[in-house]
Each structure stands twice: as C-alpha cells, then as structure tokens.
C-alpha cells in the first residue's frame, strides 16, 4: 500500500511540473500578441497614409481586415492566432507602402520576438480565407483604426 501511495504522489509531482511551463507561457504569448498588434498598427497607419497620398489602395482592405480580426482574436484569448493575422496584415500593409513608393517604417521589419513565431504560422492562403467575408473596399480602409485600445 505504501508503495502505491509513494507512486501516486510522485506521479502527481511530475504532473504538476509539466503544467508549469504551459501556464507560465500564456501571459507571455498575450504580451507578445499585444506587441505584434501594436507594431502592425504602426505599419498599417503608414500604409493608410501612403495610400491616401499615392492614391493606390490595392490590398489595404485585406490588411485592415486581418488586423481587425487579430484584435477580435486577442480580445477572445486566441493570442497565437491573433499574432498570425496581425503579421499577415503587416505584410500586406508593406506591399501597399511599396505600391505607393513611400518609405517603409522601421516597425515593418520583424523583431526577434516576432521571428520566433514565423515558423509556426499558417499559410497566407489559410489566413486570407478566414477574413474573406469581412473584406471592405480598399479605399474605405484608409480611415479605419486598427490599434488595440489601452
């Protein structure tokens, strides 16, 4: 009997150790998601400005749709998915900036924290399918706010 009690407590101790990294990682991913969304918002704002000045809006609607979906995912606790959509929004915003021959803002480049997520991201096609129904007109997207509220 004593042998079983020892085995039980030993297995419980090992089980509790395996749970610690998962629960400790959740706040980190939330913080990372907020970081990614905020940096992407800066890039999208630059794309909106560039599109207004250059009058080339192609892709801006999709960028804003991804960023808005990322905000919804963040609010609902789907932090990794929020990161994926926000990074997709940023990539699309960079294309709008290039299309308008404007200067690329420094936040467009992925930092080390963001690069850690890129190998795990879904394909662009999969991400785009999630926002297809929410796409607005590209020129209307030039005036939509995309950052997280404080």
Whole-model pTM: value is 0.80
Q: How far is it, in rounded angstroms, from Cα 6 to Cα 31?
A: 39
**120 φ/ψ sector (left φ>0, alpha ψ -120 to 50, else beta):** alpha
Listed by start position, the domains of the chain span: 25-143
Q: Please check whether residue 47 is in contact with residue 93, taking contact to mean a CB–CB distance below 8 angstroms.
A: yes
pLDDT in tens, the chain (150 residues): 565 545 455 555 544 444 334 445 678 899 999 999 999 999 999 999 999 999 999 999 999 999 999 999 999 999 999 999 999 999 999 999 999 999 999 999 999 999 999 999 999 999 999 998 877 777 778 777 777 665
Burial class (CB in 10 A: 0-12, 13-18, 19+), 34: middle
> What's the CA gap between 85 and 69, in Å, rounded?
7
The Cα 128–Cα 106 span in angstroms is 25
CB atoms inside a 10 Å sphere around CB 14: 9
DSSP annotation string for 72-109:
HHHHTT-HHHHHHHHHHHHHHHHHHHHHTTPPPPGGGS
């Amino acid at each position: 009997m004593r042998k079983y009690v020892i085995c039980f407590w030993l297995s419980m101790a090992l089980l509790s150790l395996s749970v610690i990294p998962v629960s400790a990682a959740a706040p980190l991913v939330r913080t990372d998601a907020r970081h990614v969304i905020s940096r992407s918002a800066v890039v999208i704002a630059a794309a909106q400005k560039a599109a207004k000045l250059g009058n080339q809006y192609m892709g801006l609607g999709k960028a804003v749709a991804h960023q808005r979906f990322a905000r919804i995912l963040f609010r609902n606790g789907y932090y990794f998915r929020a990161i994926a959509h926000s990074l997709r929004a940023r990539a699309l915003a960079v294309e709008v900036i290039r299309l308008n021959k404007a200067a690329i803002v420094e936040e467009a480049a992925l930092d080390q924290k963001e690069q850690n997520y890129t190998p795990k991201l879904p394909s662009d096609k999969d991400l785009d399918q999630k926002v297809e129904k929410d796409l607005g007109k590209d020129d209307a997207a030039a005036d939509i706010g995309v950052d997280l509220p404080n």
